[in-house]
Amino acid sequence: MKTEPNIADPDGFYEAWVAAHEGLSDADSADLDARLVLLLANQVGEMQVLLDCIAAARAARG
């Protein structure tokens, strides 16, 4: 699992992600995020990396 920054333009990505949510209901925003997670997980493709990412995200919660 990569933990160092690996996005060439993280601010640009964040802005595009936020913009994709404009005008959506909370439910539609949650659906968009779920679809995005599945598409990105498919790009990663390695089960252990995905499991490590799930564990890291869960451990980092509030």
Residue pLDDT, tens place only, 5-50: 999 999 999 999 999 999 999 999 999 999 999 999 999 999 999 9
pLDDT score of 49? 97
Residue bearing tokens 């802005």: 15
Report residue 42 as tokens: 């498919």
Q: What confidence score (pLDDT) does residue 25 get? A: 98
SS3 23: coil
Higher pLDDT, 4 or 62: 4
Please tell me the predicted confidence (pLDDT) of residue 30: 98
Contacts of 31 (CB under 8 A, 6+ apart): none
CA atoms within 13 A on the CB side of 56: 9
Indicate the pLDDT class of residue 61, thresholds 50, 70 and 90. Answer: confident
